[in-house]
Chain A
Amino acid sequence: MNIQDNYLKNKKNIFFSENKDIQSHREKLINIFENDRFDKKNNESLKNINLKNFIDFKYKYLIPEEKSVINNNEKNSYSIVSINGQCSSYKDDKIEITKILDEDYNDFSKNDIIENNDHFVNLNSLFLNSGFKIVIKKNNNIKIKISNIITDDDLTIFQKNNYICEEGSSLNLIEEYENRNNSTSNILNVIKLEKNSKLNHFLIQDNSPNHNLIITTHSSCKNDSTYTQKVYNFSEGYVRNFHYSELIEANSEADLQGIFFLKDNNTSNNKTFVKHLAEDCKSNQVYKGILNDRSKATYFSNTHVDQVAQRTEGYQLSKGVLLSDNASYFSKPELKIYADDVKCSHGSTIGPIDENAIFYLRSRGMSKIAATKILISSFINEELSSIDNEQMSEIINKKLVRYLSKVK
């Protein structure tokens, strides 16, 4: 079924389909797909995947029977169970959770960089069927843990979440994606950091082989705000992590880090894009991958420094360890600098485990497999030891042990 028919057939289940502005935007998006107006060969978002599988899909969405759960057990700490992308409304003096509204759709639809290149975001906009908005109120320091649950097989979740950190607020956000059913989640997180706010965003991904997870984040940072993202991908199913960050006011920072652990025939596509649009901003993009068996990964990192963004600091690093001759990792760092007073760097290294290091460790009595495992752990040691959340650290270490137990 083509995109237009699919959309028209399921329109009643899709958010904001009665809104004329949104409808006209969606018609534009349908045209992009229908007229095949995009360059498939050179489009980074399409590497290693068959777009047809994602365009020609059977739409299925179920409004969950159970209500999502929001707990506020500890002071300033909330745990949320989101079901099929939905979350109940909640309000207190520190946070407010609501459904997303028409206006929340519009605030993002004007982003040309994404719209012209990222077809998964366009699919999300077209078939949007779930999502929520969380506002952290001024000067509050909050922790939120969200478990994303999908209830049935064959569901196609198109979810959009908006996070707004008001002035002086701080949010520690942990998102867990651990689904065992045969479904596809296409999630768009739109994050706005107001002046002097901070968001530490952890994403733990550990889905079964038949669950596709496509996550796109767009963050925008105002004066003196900081967005930090740490992604840990242990999924056995396809995962796409694309993250766009805009530093729109001075002294703001974006730190985008990711580690993926792949095996079997799995694929993961990753991208970070940081746009420096103001003076004295900093960005850091670090992705590391461990690939076994016949797994494949891509990582594209882009730093764009606008001509007004003087005294920018922007760093990119990509590293990969290939545990098998059949695994492959394609990495492309890119810097576009239009200002003259900047410090920027990029680096990329991909290769097998250092045989000299293996020999050294074995020559002290360690078995080859133990030496391999210790070297894999050491490869990501810096990132793991920088996790300052004990609960997170424990979760990640357990998953790492499970991954390493399959390394032979």
Chain B
Amino acid sequence: MFLEIKDLSVKIENKNILKRLNLNINKGEVHAIMGPNGSGKSTLANVLAGKEDYEILNGRINFKDNDLFDLNIEERAQEGMFLAFQYPVEIPGVNITPFLHSAINSKRKRMNEEEIDNLSFAKLLKSKANDLGINIDMLKRSVNTGFSGGEKKRYEILQMSILNPDLAILDETDSGLDIDALKIVTDGVNKLKTNDNSFLIITHYQKLLNYIKPDYVHVMVNGSIVKSGGSEIAAEIEKDGFQKFQ
């Protein structure tokens, strides 16, 4: 199993968010989690990425034969996990290019791969930015600083395509995107998809899933997955909402 979440219960500030949640993802699969506001979707994404604000009450998570709880935030990233943030953080003064260069090299170092030099990295970055319709001038700016909502999401996908993760978690990447930006972002994701990597896509709406075809759709309500199936569930939610699952 690529990612196995077993009986996961999590709380934050005395509030139980995830309740005995189970989810298995195999290599090469695309899973979508849909759910109403406050159902715990972003908490799941943050817990997977290692955010330290949460208390794990119960359960375990295995990722690529590692106990995920044995890995800190950066080790998870270096092992191939990537979280595309719902609200990417603005970091004034940290330039995009050296930051991404350092990120890719920290991953390569852990994998005992040779570090990528400045010139090769610049070429890689330029070509990936072109693919995503990102203006080269944007790469001279500080991380997410002064970006529009759409630019931030595009930049998340640029980072994803540079870091080429084994498991990418997209936390409401579609929110705040107009239809053209959504197409660019989802094209970027589809280009990256292979039989060796997996995606966990968190969204409220079916719209995103029209562009990225999931193998499985899960409905998450009140901290647990209450129904799993294929794309037909997304259509069902689009038609009737989440009411019937609550």
Whether chain B is bound by chain A comes out as yes
Q: State A150–B109 Cα separation when bound (angstroms).
A: 48
CB-CB under 8 A for A356 and B89, given A363-B49, A363-B73, A366-B74: yes
Is B226 an interface position by the 8 A CB rule?
no
Q: Cβ of B89 and Cβ of A365 under 8 Å apart?
A: no
Q: Which residues of B have CB within 8 Å of A361?
A: 91, 94, 99
Q: State A357–B145 Cα separation when bound (angstroms).
A: 12
Q: Cβ of B93 and Cβ of A379 under 8 Å apart?
A: yes
Q: Cβ of B106 and Cβ of A366 under 8 Å apart?
A: yes
Other-chain contact of B93, A360, A365, A370, A377 (Cβ < 8 Å): A377
Q: Cβ of B93 and Cβ of A359 under 8 Å apart?
A: no
Q: List 14 A-B pairs, Cβ < 8 Å.
A: A363-B49, A363-B50, A363-B76, A364-B99, A364-B103, A365-B74, A365-B77, A365-B107, A365-B110, A368-B73, A374-B94, A375-B94, A378-B91, A379-B93
Q: Cβ of A381 and Cβ of B92 under 8 Å apart?
A: yes
Is B200 an interface position by the 8 A CB rule?
no
Nearest chain A CB to B56 CB, angstrom units = 16
Q: Scan B74-102; emit 1 where CB is below 8 A from any A CB, else 0.
A: 10111000110100110111100001101
Q: Cβ of A357 and Cβ of B106 under 8 Å apart?
A: no
CB-CB under 8 A for A375 and B77, given A363-B49, A364-B99, A366-B102: no
Nearest chain A CB to B193 CB, angstrom units = 20
Chain A interface SS verdict (over half): helix
Residues of B in contact (CB 8 Å), total: 31
Q: Cβ of A368 and Cβ of B142 under 8 Å apart?
A: no
Q: State A33–B78 Cα separation when bound (angstroms).
A: 63
Other-chain contact of B74, A357, A368, A374, A375 (Cβ < 8 Å): A368
Is B159 an interface position by the 8 A CB rule?
yes
Is A362 an interface position by the 8 A CB rule?
yes
Q: State A382–B95 Cα separation when bound (angstroms).
A: 12
Q: Which residues of B have CB within 8 Å of A374?
A: 94, 99
Q: State A231–B92 Cα separation when bound (angstroms).
A: 22
CB-CB under 8 A for A357 and B102, given A362-B77, A366-B74, A374-B94: no
Q: Cβ of A375 and Cβ of B163 under 8 Å apart?
A: no
CB-CB under 8 A for A367 and B106, given A360-B85, A378-B142: yes
Q: Scan B29-50; emit 1 where CB is below 8 A from any A CB, else 0.
A: 0000000000000000000011
**Nearest 6 Cβ contacts at the A-B interface:** A378-B93, A381-B93, A362-B73, A365-B77, A364-B103, A365-B106
Q: Which residues of A have CB within 8 Å of B143?
A: 360
Nearest chain A CB to B216 CB, angstrom units = 24
Is B51 an interface position by the 8 A CB rule?
yes
Q: Which residues of A have CB within 8 Å of B92?
A: 378, 381-382
Q: State A374–B49 Cα separation when bound (angstroms).
A: 20
Nearest chain A CB to B112 CB, angstrom units = 15
Known: A362-B77, A366-B106; 8 extra A-B contacts, CB below 8 A, are A360-B85, A361-B99, A363-B76, A363-B77, A363-B82, A364-B159, A374-B94, A374-B99
